[in-house]
Chains A and B, each alone.
Chain A
Amino acid sequence: RKEVEQDPGPFNVPEGATVAFNCTYSNSASQSFFWYRQDCRKEPKLLMSVYSSGNEDGRFTAQLNRASQYISLLIRDSKLSDSATYLCAVNDPDNYGQNFVFGPGTRLSVLP
């Protein structure tokens, strides 16, 4: 069973803070990585891809560390609306059909 693990959280941070989450994966052959955002009682929605060179989208930065087999998500200047659970998704090269495995999620609460 290929494992994808995340910081359990919850992360409670004040507005304006910078917060970072990690997601570790066990299969060194994994090549594709994504971050999803899930609001309470809603479906996950794609937040951003994670490229080898990193990826930045506004206040959000995703990084990949292949040597240590983890990806990270950095959120700068946190907003109340960033409160959600963040799921990482990692492809599983050994299982073509179920080719992505989701982490259990990290819950973020941004406090006023």
Chain B
Amino acid sequence: DGGITQSPKYLFRKEGQNVTLSCEQNLNHDAMYWYRQDPGQGLRLIYYSQIVNDFQKGDIAEGYSVSREKKESFPLTVTSAQKNPTAFYLCASSMAGYYTFGSGTRLTVV
């Protein structure tokens, strides 16, 4: 089955630590996205990528970094510069406007 896989499902980060969230898709989609969702809020775009080796900042990119070395993979690193990282992180890929989302990673700072 084609789909988009995020891991881990739950992640705990200590203060000052960098963590990387994985996102892999086998849908052959060119475009991939990372969103952040806080409780009761909508989706806020962190980064997006239209093609391999290219990505663009979204609305809330500060404190985050990404790479797109392969079409299938778009990992997100939450750096220590992100002061309030506790949130639900969603990865998505799209083709012709149809977005497919991963099941999300719930990140908590401890």
Cα distance A56–B42 in the bound complex, in angstroms: 25
Whether B42 contacts A42 by the Cβ 8 Å rule is: no
Whether B56 contacts A98 by the Cβ 8 Å rule is: yes
The count of A-to-B residue pairs whose CB atoms sit within 8 angstroms is: 51
Which of the residues B33, B43, B98, B103 comes within 8 Å of A46, measured between beta carbons?
Answer: B98
Interface residues of A (CB under 8 A from B): 1, 32, 34, 36, 41-46, 87, 89, 91, 96-100, 102-105
Residue B12 interfacial (CB < 8 Å) = no
Interface residues of B (CB under 8 A from A): 31, 33, 35, 41-43, 45, 48, 50, 56, 58-59, 88, 90, 94, 97-104, 106
B100 neighbours in A (Cβ, 8 Å): 46
- Chain B at the A interface: SS class: strand
Which of the residues B31, B35, B42, B56 comes within 8 Å of A104, measured between beta carbons?
Answer: B42
Closest CB of chain A to B53's CB: distance in Å? 14
A42 neighbours in B (Cβ, 8 Å): 103-104
A91 neighbours in B (Cβ, 8 Å): 97
Cα distance A96–B31 in the bound complex, in angstroms: 11
Whether A104 contacts B97 by the Cβ 8 Å rule is: no
Which of the residues A43, A89, A105 comes within 8 Å of B102, measured between beta carbons?
Answer: A43
Whether A102 contacts B50 by the Cβ 8 Å rule is: no
